Amino acid sequence: MSQIVTLIGGTGLVGGHILQLLLKDDLYSTVRVIGRRSVNINHPKIQEFIIEFGDQKALEQAIAGSETVFVAVGTTNKNVEGDKDAYKKVDYDIPVNVAKAAAKYGVYGFAMVSSVGADPNNNNNFYLKLKGVTEESVAKEMVPQTLIFRPSLLLGERKEKRFGEGIAQFFMPAINYIIPSSKQKYKGIKAEELAQAMVLAAQKTPKGIHFFEYPKIMELLNRKETENAKI
């Protein structure tokens, strides 16, 4: 049976890959893309909703009727010029308000990008504490299938250049080889691999609240490869 699926963050690094996967997958008849600006893709499956995320009614109307909602949004200190309230409006308000809308309208699945090390009790790191608090708030909405992904450094070509991240991306493939097995969750991951894992998890994971760090993400992808090899 074909499904309606919704994506928030389709212009971003991970969201862009999720969008391409959803458009190619016959399981989905309609791909709703919610954002502040257009993804500029002409495709018969796409329904675009250009909204202000502070407008909860518009957000709810765009989400109602969806089987699954993917949230791949995030900002940087540079983008918000160090304004923590502005940071929260993106990294906390958007995922939490989406989860509220999903719960209200009976959406089955909610999948979001968080971060490795997310911890609501971390008072020494604003970013990791915010991610942890966001995860807690999302989980409280009790969307039947809640999938929270905690990648470390994302590898891929961003439209927006980030100097420090660019250096880290250059060295990360080599660093990945020497990271001990006990620290696997800190390995960098390709954005396209994370996107693939998110779509797979939405299709394969049972009800409940599930967390995915690097080892579990790669397990999903490897299982898919094994299944394909048997076909």
Q: How far apart, in Å, are the Cα atoms of 22 and each of 47, 105, 159, 210, 224?
A: 12, 21, 21, 21, 16
Per the structure, the count of domains in the chain is 1
Range of the domain at 214: 3-230
Q: What's the predicted TM-score (pTM) here?
A: 0.90
User: pLDDT tens track of the chain, all 231 residues?
Assistant: 689 999 999 999 999 999 999 999 999 999 999 999 999 999 999 999 999 999 999 999 999 999 999 999 988 888 888 899 999 999 999 999 999 999 999 999 999 999 999 999 999 999 999 999 999 999 999 999 999 999 998 887 655 555 455 555 555 564 555 666 677 888 889 999 999 999 999 999 999 999 999 999 999 999 876 777 655
Question: Alpha-carbon distance 31 to 130, whole Å?
Answer: 29
Alpha helices in the chain (DSSP H): 13-24, 56-63, 84-88, 94-104, 126-140, 163-178, 191-204, 214-230
Which CATH number goes with the domain that contains 188? 3.40.50.720
Strand order, beta sheet including 68-71:
46-50, 28-35, 3-8, 68-71, 109-113, 145-149, 208-212
